[in-house]
Amino acid sequence: MQSASFFSHALVEPKHPFSIADLYFTSNPFHSLSNAVIPAVVLFSSMIGIGLIGLEDKERVLGTLRVLNASIVRITRFIVSLTPVGVFAIGAVTAGTMTPETFVRLEVYFITFGAASLLLAFLVLPLLVTALTPFRYREVIGIGREALLTAFVTNNAFIVLPILVERTKALLQQRGLLSAESDSAAEILVPIMFNFPNAGRLLTLLFVPFAAWLAGSSLSAADYSNLFAVGVPSYFAKAQVALPFLMDFFGLPHDLFQLYIPTTIISGKFDAMVTAMNLLAFALLGAGAMGGFLVLKRRRLLAAGAIMLTGTAVTVIAVRMILDATIDTAYHKDEALRRMHTPRDMSSAIVHRDRITVQPEDTASRTLTLAHIRQRGTLRVGYDPANLPFSFFNLDGELVGFDIELAESMADSFGVRAEFIPVEWPELPEMLADGVIDVMPGTWYRPFWFPSLRLSAPYMTGTMGLAVRDEHRHAFGSIAALRRSRGLKIGVPLDTRQVEYSMRRYFGDADVEFITLEFWGPFFEGEHPELDAFLVPAENGSAWTLLHPEYTVVVPQPDPVKIPSAFGLALDAGELVDAINEWVVFATNEGMIQRSYAYWILGQGAEGKQPRWSILRNVLGWID
């Protein structure tokens, strides 16, 4: 599925490097407990337990821990009593706010989870037992059938533990392999292994790559190794604790976890079934190890391995074909961007699609004042018609965007109408000096403009990134890697002096060729295949990736380059500069700029505004 997203602050936040030492070895166990760093908690607790085993006076510590445990159990019981209410509330909100597109794509998780469960429960785990013990496949499935069905129906593997112990002993007795050692192994291993991460629990790890796929940032091959290294020990805790930690670890949107809770109604049944088979398999293998009847024959192991690999390949292909046939992966986010409308009334604004001719009286005075603008009745604002998401024409032909909304608000504050005039950036100083426009929003605070423009106080700070094709994004995420680059061709906008600091900061003295283009649009449209990347503000680039999802924006870490944006004015526009600076202070403190930023750049304006589904409205019809 091709996907893209609006700009997110997670794009520019530094990524925490994967560190086994930090995740497993803690100098502050209380920090690990409060932040759910489960691997460190598990290892610390295990080491404390091992250390207490040999102490003679450990009862004093254990007595205190029993009292503490009893108090925690009382708190837990109270919280458990509230769980149905919380789950109902989460389920109600999710059902009422979930879009049809998200609901359909949840099928991907359900189908994949179900297929993986059946593969593990009826192929991989039974074959593992038959490859290492004298038991036949039919025997293993036969004794586990009742337990698996019960666990699936009740959505609970705990209640089948006695059944698993009984059926394991029955098979051992039937084969004449029941001894004191194998009997004790069956009695002990089933309840002990229930508390350890098992195949059933670990299946819910599938939600992490599913959430990454749904968010449009699929995990890389290296991410999967990290997922298992961190995820397996995390499942000493409940999935409800482990998954939020793992989603934070991979930088995935935390609100996607709200989708997980309702899915357990279905996935929990498969989870319980696989858990039951996992416990049965380990009970039989443990009994074989303790009773001395394990079979280690290369031919049997190779045959079982070949069947497992073949079954896995067939399952993957079948799931792929089913998903291709049933799931609509058509891309629609470009339409969401193009359909955005301004939240304020712009009916009074004047929009020119072509350059206007300046009247002589407009340039008679070289000093532009507020009185001059009020006499004219309009504030002439320059705009770039392809500067997504700051200024662009939507599908209805309306001029919209972050800068457009701010300029309209500023003109309204000055008591005049906004008059928008198209601008080409190389001609900006001349157009301001000639009075064709009074102000140009979105002008970067760079020395390139200092000799020819006046700049207001900055009203937004962007981040310089690199637009690259999706398959190349991992090669551009680190400044250190960029500085080791050889033979790269990087596009830069308008003039290298505008982004000179970004070029030095990201590439240093690397052997890189910079190619100057007037605009990054042709790069996204595939007109410059010779370029490996284009230097572009992440806020602009993210919007362009919505139109061209085969591209993504990468912000090299650490300490990315920041770019303040301001209103550009003529060199002699002293009074107007002061007025705009005062307006920037007002709009910032009033929250206007932040609201517009969230609406246009973070994409909140592209979200549907329909009321969420309600029983009172949609079923009973009691409210409108």
**Domain residue ranges in the chain:** 98-326, 342-458+565-606, 463-564
Neighbours of 514 (CB within 10 A): 15
Structure tokens at 324: 């291709």
Q: How many helices (H) and strands (E) does the chain have?
A: 25, 14
C-alpha 479/C-alpha 465 separation (Å) is: 11
257, two tokens: 């976890």
Burial class of residue 29 (count of CB atoms within 10 Å of its CB; 0-12, 13-18, 19+): middle
For residues 348 and 412, what is the distance between their CA atoms, to the nearest angstrom? Answer: 10
- Tally Cβ neighbours within 10 Å of residue 327: 15
**pLDDT score for 611:** 62
Q: What pLDDT is attached to residue 354?
A: 86
Q: Residue 360 has what pLDDT?
A: 45
Q: What is the reported pLDDT for 346?
A: 73
Residues of the chain with pLDDT under 50: 360-361, 363-364
Residue 353, exposed/middle/buried by CB under 10 A (0-12, 13-18, 19+)? exposed
Which helix (H) or strand (E) covers residue 210, if one does? helix 207-214
Four-CA torsion 380, 386, 387, 390, nearest 10 degrees: 70
Q: At residue 489, what are phi and psi to the nearest 5 degrees?
A: -120, 115
Residue 407: per-residue pLDDT:
95
- The topology (CATH level 3) of 342-458+565-606 is D-Maltodextrin-Binding Protein; domain 2 (3.40.190)
Please tell me if the domain spanning 342-458+565-606 has the same topology as the one spanning 463-564. yes
Which pLDDT belongs to residue 607? 65
Q: Please tell me the predicted confidence (pLDDT) of residue 35.
A: 77
Helix axes 298-326, 100-119, angle to 10 degrees: 160
| Helix residue ranges, H only, 297-380 | 298-326, 333-338, 370-376
Which tens digits make up the pLDDT trace of 44-79? Answer: 888 888 888 888 888 888 888 889 988 988 887 887
Distance CA 251, CA 253 (A): 7
**β-bridge partners, 491:** 515, 534
* Amino acid making up residue 150: T
Write down how long the chain is.
624
Tokens of 590: 């009033």
- CATH class of the domain comprising 463-564: alpha beta
Retrieve residue 539's tokens. Answer: 């806020």
In the block, tokens 């929009």 appear at: 351
Backbone angles phi, psi at 621, to 5 degrees: 70, 30
Q: Which three-class secondary structure state does DSSP give residue 518?
A: coil
Closest by CA position to 382, among listed 456, 452, 440, 449 = 440
Q: What is the DSSP string of 224-235?
A: HHHHHHHHHHHT
